[in-house]
Amino acid sequence: MNAIFDLATNRLIQSTNDPLSVGDSIAVNGRFVMPAPDGTAYEVSPTDTPATVAFNSAVSLLMRYPMYENAAWNFFLTSSDMAAIDVSSPVPSPVVSTKPRCQIGRGAGPLPVGAVPNSVAILPRNTGVAPTQPGLLVTDTIDISAIAPAGTDEVLLWWEIAQVSTSNDNVHSITQATPAIKTLTSVAQEPATLDVYVSNDDGATWYQADRLLPVDLVNPGTDLRVAFVNNSSTRVNLLGFAVLYSEI
């Protein structure tokens, strides 16, 4: 299921039962896509908001994987969602690079804050410096101590990436023009150039994660972080992610 919302009003425009296949594209001028996790299904109501779709997606994941009791998620919809990304330098990182290299909205002032859904991106590897620097997005600490005081030593991650591009606005004559089209294209979710890591000790120790497979974190901890590393030559848009966990 994919839910499509109007960018200006956050009103639901359309929902589809079938997810986009790899290579499928959709025009997103003035709208954005809320992806549903693989294998989950629920009926979207015309009164649903992006926030309720995000919540229902997380609940559906927990129903599909009942061995987990709790979930944390971020679909990068609001300024508070932006504030949940760590842009400090150095940032805790599982790779050599300790500088965030990502495209995000502004999570805090004094300049205007906000975000455009579907626009958070992990930048391509920078080969113009030595050593080369991968794209890097690291979440801020996800503190689960209030929900799981004893911590967790196993998690399961879901994420959704895509390619978002915008064509040129071309004028052919005084009376004819081709408008710019913003396009979201579905891509493979685990390309060889994307590495995802998770930590439960606030970034001191990292474990590589596969999508929708359990990750053994060895020792229990309450301070989760997730890191996305882009080693490709193209930008990768991150539409959302979720972390499933249970208290030990």
pLDDT tens digit string along 186-234? Answer: 999 999 999 999 999 999 999 999 999 999 999 999 999 999 999 999 9
Q: In the predicted model, is pLDDT for residue 178 greater than 80?
A: no
Instruction: Measure the CA dihedral 73/93/126/123, to 10°.
Output: 10
Q: Which H or E element spans position 61?
A: helix 50-64
Q: How much is the average pLDDT of 106-127? A: 86
Q: How much is the average pLDDT of 74-91? A: 92
Percent of the chain with pLDDT over 70: 96
Q: Supply the pTM of this predicted model.
A: 0.92
Instruction: Measure the CA dihedral 164/170/175/176, to 10°.
Output: -60
Q: How much is the average pLDDT of 170-188? A: 80
Q: Is 159 in contact with 211 (CB distance < 8 Å)?
A: yes
Residues composing the chain: 248
d(CA 211, CA 80): 25
Q: How confident is the model at residue 1 (pLDDT cuts 50, 70, 90)?
A: low
Q: In the predicted model, is pLDDT for residue 238 greater than 90?
A: yes
- pLDDT value at residue 37: 86
Nearest one of 151, 183, 225 to 32, comparing CA atoms:
183
Percent of the chain with pLDDT over 90: 72
Burial level of 128, CB count in 10 A (0-12/13-18/19+)?
exposed
Q: Is 238 in contact with 161 (CB distance < 8 Å)?
A: yes
Q: How confident is the model at residue 167 (pLDDT cuts 50, 70, 90)?
A: confident
Q: In the predicted model, is pLDDT for residue 70 greater than 90?
A: yes
Q: Is 201 in contact with 211 (CB distance < 8 Å)?
A: no
Q: In the predicted model, is pLDDT for residue 107 greater than 80?
A: no
Q: In the predicted model, is pLDDT for residue 2 greater than 90?
A: no
- pLDDT value at residue 17: 67
CA angle 9/11/12 to nearest 5° reads 150
3-class DSSP assignment, residue 63: helix
Mean pLDDT of the chain: 91
Nearest one of 91, 88, 37, 97 to 229, comparing CA atoms:
97
